Structure 1
Amino acid sequence: MWERFSYYGMRALLVLYLVNALGYSRDNALALYGIYTGLVYLTPLIGGAVADRILGKRRAAIVGGVVMMLGHLAMAFEPLLYYALGLIIVGNGFFKPNTTSMVGELYRGEDDPRRAGGYSIFYMGVNLGAFLAPLVAGTLGEKMGWHWGFGAAAVGMAAGLVQFCWQQPALGRSGLMPHQGPVTFKDAPLIAMWSAGCTAFVVGAYQLWKVVGPVFGGLPTLAQVAIAVGGIGGAIWWIIKPDAKDAEHAPLTGAEWGRVISIVIVMVFVIAFWTGFEQAGGTMALFADQNTQRMVGSFEVPASWFQSINPLVIVALAPVFALLWTRLDQSRFKMGDTLKQALGMVVLGLGFIVMAMAQGIADTGVKVGMHWLAIVFVIHTLGELMLSPVGLSMVSRVAPAKVLSLMMGVWFLSSAAANYLAGVMEQMLHGSGYALYPFLAAFAIGAGVLLALLSPLLERLMKAK
């Protein structure tokens, strides 16, 4: 809860801060938002591998929390903007895949029927923090000063670290390597060393990018994509390559490779969902700020508050969906995980049909009522509940144990690609004749229908032993 409070507090403010405080153009603000949120979901690939091979999940999560806290503190100072974003990106890479996979370790075996419900409860806690963040950090940032909002996010992360360490007895052996015990004060030097190393890496990487970035940016788009895909693919192979001397990291069997491939295929489809969903912090945040009538009497509702609708609905409905999936899975109407996710994509597309209608009204020069965005956020949240907790449960159940944290990181690659696309999609569609929201509706619905058709084949791969 507290970690998501810190992240979503910053996310609710970022585009508004770039446009209204720093004078960024709409396209540049959305592009930076896309690059930042994309990298946030790319670094879990590395953080998961470091946890599997070196630190263990629990210690890696604490390192990530410390680094993220430093990033949120740095966000309060305008000259440190890029360093701050880099720290949050790297810290999230250590935190996100490891806490998520630790939830799966609390359950007995792959077929424990409580696992999907457990992830829905976990998801409810996550979204409680996401609900509070725009209300607290968003209000402080928009009404009192941007640095107050970013500072509140740092306080939230500190609270999360204290909570995580204090409640370790409830976790049992989850997140620990065979030779490890719970995290104690004796681990402080190790955590400090890794946190300092991450900070030095961010500083060095930004200085290097100031030299390499202009050269890379001058390359044709196809060359940029080829370099990015080659680098990511090479990193994945280096991480999972067979090691004959290490039984724990022995080569995957044919059945295990089939399960890995099935996860990757679903991940590609899920990109369509998150590309649309992540408009919430980009174009939809600007729509709330510029095209929505937000006055209630003499009080102007902060634009960031709309981002609390999504987690509020999740907190209210996550237990309902957890019960629904459990009941369905025990009945003759049982749906596979991939089919549930396909349905979520179609529901998201329906939300963008409503959003396209609202944009059509706004294009006439009339500010729309707040109920338009509220309806869209509710529809999108229903789609999310059908896709995200189900997907996390699927990965924890299907991925071979020896690469579980890595596969959580790979799963988040879909969000990395989607978040980047979310930031640049509007700019990509300029001059194409396609409006953003109708395009996203067709994109999500089409991907959902195709995934539903492939669902039987993917389910067979996932059950291979």
Structure 2
Amino acid sequence: MSQSNEGSPAIPGQRQFFGHPAGLGTLFFTELWERFSYYGMRALLVLFMTAAVVEGGMGFDDPTANAIYGLYTAGVYLAALPGGWLADRIFGQQNAIWYGGIIIAAGHIVLSLPGFGLVPEAYGFFLGLILIVVGTGLLKPNISSCVGELYPEGGSRRDAGYVIYYMGINVGAALGPFICGLLRVNMGWHWGFAAAAVGMIAGLIVYRLTQRHLGEFGKEPHPTPPEKQGQTKAMAWGIYALTAGLFLFALLALQGVVVMDARQMAEYSVYVIVGVAVLFFARVLLDSKLTKIERNRTVVLVALFIGAALFWSGFEQAGSSLNLFAERYTARELLGIVIPAEAFQSLNPVYILIFAPFFSALWINLGRRNLDPSIPMKFALGFAQLGIGFGFMWIAASLIQDGDQVLPTWLLLTYLFHTTGELCVSPIGLSATSKLAPRSYYSQMMGMWFFGAALGNLLAGLLAGEFSGDQVEQFPELYRQIVIFCGVVTVGFLVATPFLKKMAALDTPTDDLVREDEPGAYEGGGPKQPRD
């Protein structure tokens, strides 16, 4: 593969983006607008589904709406797996980003069409969601991989490039809910969905006009050996058939030919994902080619997989039960202006922008003093903060029992602690996966991280369904149980930390992980030394 000088250190006269390759600007603004569209629409989703039909909504009850929300957000993560494969084998990363963006924009447009009388509401809603899932599966994993390829030299400059890139993600995630929420309040639901479409179209325009800055990486798919071309084509057609089957199922359900129970589908999906995870980890652990250290590290990854899924099941209440709490039980008037409930969805990315540099510096400084908490310890800290956040909701839920609305302070504090908890779990878990994954299963282990997130989102939708609007008196007890559960998981990770830390054996040199009797066993199985 030819490398352009886009990835080399800054050269006088060469076009740059904040001292980085110009291609970073392409990816920064494309992802900014894509995240604007995704989080802007997501902030509307549960509110729209639970709003009465006379108010322009879908009229679903809370459990059904939250289950659909869980299925949708889980689908986004699951679609990243075939999306990444199609980019590698069929389209190339750059084309996958372009096609994915077009499909996402089409999904948001379809979502907005019922508001203008062009298609029936249910058809626009469900077909639009499926389009967004499919498009995001193509775009999201591949745009992230393109960032790294701008820096073939690696090192700290690549890390700095990712920091700038993630700033774009969070700027878009902060603007989307706020702007789409304002449009929803002042002009109607479908104007909010249309704004999300405009955001994605803006991203596509930026991408196409500046795509040349990405160089040669990802223009073409990886070459497939002749003996595997038939297998590759069969796999591709299998993915296309599965996607077509998803649309067909939705159409049959909309026609009433098949009955769709969203909550039951979410429950079955949980069983399927858990079953796949069990089979996958069992296969890895029973692989006789693994060294003892690799097998022990896989056990650690199993613990982190479970922890991540449980963490996301609480954290992802943001778009569902906490979103409904903001809409129904929070006083949102400020200086005579009603703040949209969706605006609270902007708190997490704003907090990320504020606190992520602090946490990064904290881990570095603690590491220099040999005081950096271990990976399981950071997970324990994450769950402790998740529990503190829900503790504030426990208090807020108690205050609304007399029919009064509560101050936004409770949600501000909840999102604050959930965000700091996220910073102890999400980047740490992803980094841990890159460090601990056996080389022969490296890519598959990274894929299991998506599976864990999908499982967490499904569980979040089911959990959110317990906070039904007609059972407000049960809210304090439900939040109390979540706080206790977070405390139990925190203690569990604290107790397991010495055991997991020993099994991770991060101080063992990488060369010690190669079996002496099989020197070539891991060739091509993953990077020699995964980066932090």
Q: CA deviation at 1:27?
A: 2.0
Q: Decide whether aligned partners of structure 1 residues 108 and 321 sit closer, same or farther in structure 2, where only a CA change above 3 A counts.
A: farther
Q: CA deviation at 1:428?
A: 5.3
Residue 446 (structure 2) pairs with residue 446 (structure 1) = no
Paired residue type of 2:318: A
2:43–2:342 Cα contact (<8 Å) kept: yes
> Which is further off, 333-342 or 161-170?
161-170
Q: TM-score w.r.t. structure 1 length?
A: 0.81
Identify the residue that residue 38 of structure 1 maps to in structure 2: 74
Identify the residue that residue 322 of structure 2 maps to in structure 1: 284
1:274–1:419 Cα contact (<8 Å) kept: yes
For 2:354 and 2:266, locate their aligned partners in 1 and report how far apart those are by CA, in whole Å.
47
For 1:315 and 1:88, locate their aligned partners in 2 and report how far apart those are by CA, in whole Å.
26
Residue 32 (structure 2) pairs with residue 17 (structure 1) = no
When Rg is computed on C-alpha atoms for both structures, the one with the higher figure is 2
165, 168, 193: which one aligns with 1:150 = 193
Q: Decide whether aligned partners of structure 1 residues 256 and 90 sit closer, same or farther in structure 2, where only a CA change above 3 A counts.
A: farther
Deviation string for 1:190-225 (max 9, x for gaps)? Answer: xxx99998974542242466766559988996x775
1:128–1:311 Cα contact (<8 Å) kept: yes
> Which is further off, 446-455 or 161-170?
161-170
Could you say what the CA RMSD is over the residues aligned between the two structures, in angstroms?
3.9
Counterparts of 1:413-452 in structure 2, within 5 Å, are 413-427=451-465, 435-452=477-494
Q: CA deviation at 1:259?
A: 5.2
35, 39, 44: which one aligns with 1:8 = 39
For 1:89 and 1:219, locate their aligned partners in 2 and report how far apart those are by CA, in whole Å.
17
Identify the residue that residue 376 of structure 1 maps to in structure 2: 414
Counterparts of 1:125-164 in structure 2, within 5 Å, are 125-164=168-207
For 1:272 and 1:388, locate their aligned partners in 2 and report how far apart those are by CA, in whole Å.
12
2:352–2:419 Cα contact (<8 Å) kept: yes
Q: TM-score w.r.t. structure 2 length?
A: 0.71
1:48–1:409 Cα contact (<8 Å) kept: no
For 2:316 and 2:388, locate their aligned partners in 1 and report how far apart those are by CA, in whole Å.
15
Deviation string for 1:31-85 (max 9, x for gaps)? Answer: 2212211222222232233334444444333332222221111111323111111
Q: Decide whether aligned partners of structure 1 residues 166 and 262 sit closer, same or farther in structure 2, where only a CA change above 3 A counts.
A: farther
Identify the residue that residue 166 of structure 2 maps to in structure 1: 123
> Which is further off, 323-332 or 141-150?
323-332
Aligned to 1:75, the other structure's residue is in SS state helix
Q: CA deviation at 1:409?
A: 3.0
Identify the residue that residue 186 of structure 1 maps to in structure 2: none
Counterparts of 1:236-275 in structure 2, within 5 Å, are 253-254=290-291, 262-275=300-313
1:63–1:195 Cα contact (<8 Å) kept: no
For 1:443 and 1:265, locate their aligned partners in 2 and report how far apart those are by CA, in whole Å.
16
Q: Decide whether aligned partners of structure 1 residues 213 and 256 sit closer, same or farther in structure 2, where only a CA change above 3 A counts.
A: farther
1:46–1:409 Cα contact (<8 Å) kept: no
Identify the residue that residue 126 of structure 2 maps to in structure 1: 82
Paired residue type of 2:47: L
393, 398, 404: which one aligns with 1:360 = 398
- List gaps (5 residues or longer) in structure 2: 1-31, 52-56, 115-120, 224-236, 514-532
1:38–1:420 Cα contact (<8 Å) kept: yes
2:89–2:222 Cα contact (<8 Å) kept: no
Q: Decide whether aligned partners of structure 1 residues 378 and 56 sit closer, same or farther in structure 2, where only a CA change above 3 A counts.
A: same
Residue 93 (structure 2) pairs with residue 49 (structure 1) = no
* Paired residues, number: 440
Q: Decide whether aligned partners of structure 1 residues 390 and 306 sit closer, same or farther in structure 2, where only a CA change above 3 A counts.
A: same
**Greater relative contact order (Cα 8 A, min sep 6): structure 1 or 2?**
1
For 2:302 and 2:296, locate their aligned partners in 1 and report how far apart those are by CA, in whole Å.
10
Aligned to 1:369, the other structure's residue is in SS state coil
Deviation string for 1:290-317 (max 9, x for gaps)? Answer: 1111122332111111111111111122
Residue 248 (structure 2) pairs with residue 204 (structure 1) = yes
- List gaps (5 residues or longer) in structure 1: 181-192, 241-250
Q: CA deviation at 1:149?
A: 0.8
Give me the identity figure in percent: 39
Q: Decide whether aligned partners of structure 1 residues 161 and 196 sit closer, same or farther in structure 2, where only a CA change above 3 A counts.
A: farther
1:13–1:138 Cα contact (<8 Å) kept: yes
Identify the residue that residue 361 of structure 2 maps to in structure 1: 323
